[in-house]
Amino acid sequence: MDIARRVSSAELTDLFLSLAALVIAFSILGERRLPGIEAIIITALGVSTGFLLHELAHKFVAMHFGYWAEYRANRMGLVLVIVMAFVGFIFAAPGAVMISRTSAPQNFYSLDPLGQEKLAAEEKKEELLISLAGPLTNIILAIVFFLMLMSGDAAGSLWQNAASFALFINLTLAAFNLLPFGPLDGKKIYDSNRVVWALVGVPTILAALPVYLGMI
């Protein structure tokens, strides 16, 4: 089954609306420092990698384990992110991948206690990997853009600014989602395996902290 067949028309619409809203919002902020077309190009690269690949990573890992998984936009959140951009601040809650089992295992109710314990352990491992998929995608992308900047491959002010913004949005998005609170990926990772959360979450959050504090 190819990727196109795994994305429904409703999901594709929600992804497009979310991507468009985020590009518009960040472009509004960027236009204060850059010409309009440059702000759009820079924002499109950062948002399409930071947001889109993050959500698709959750989706396809979940589907690999046999779950139904589709992205759903938060329409009110999309309006809010654009309104907040005019104020000069963005706190984006564009939507999330909805995940559920299409059906319970056929022999679920007949499992003995040991079988149920094994099934619960497998589901916990699956939740860990599904939750890790999004932030890990952002971390890998942040490293790629960092290496591009260090190597000089992103030559020219436009592509250098685009790579810098993509690095910024991927790093901050990874760190934010790894916070062990509420509905964030970090809480699910922390609950599933605290060692994994410490190995992935702590260094990522520490790396992004100077950005959050405006030090760099």
| DSSP track, the chain | --GGGGS-HHHHHHHHHHHHHHHHHHHHHHTTTS-HHHHHHHHHHHHIIIIIIHHHHHHHHHHHTTEEEEEEE-HHHHHHHHHHHHHT------EEEEEEESS--TTGGG--HHHHHHHHHHHHHHHHHHHHHHHHHHHHHHHHHHHHHHHT-S-SHHHHHHHHHHHHHHHHHHHHHTSSSTTSHHHHHHHH-HHHHHHHHHHHHHHHHHHHTT--
- pLDDT tens digits for range 93-122: 788 899 987 655 555 555 566 666 777 778
From 11, 31, 55, 117, the catalytic residue: 55
Report, as an integer, the average pLDDT of 148-160. Answer: 76
Residue 1 — pLDDT band, cuts 50, 70, 90?
very low
- pLDDT tens digits for range 5-29: 677 888 999 999 999 988 888 888 7
| Residue 55 falls in the annotated catalytic set | yes
- Model pTM? 0.83
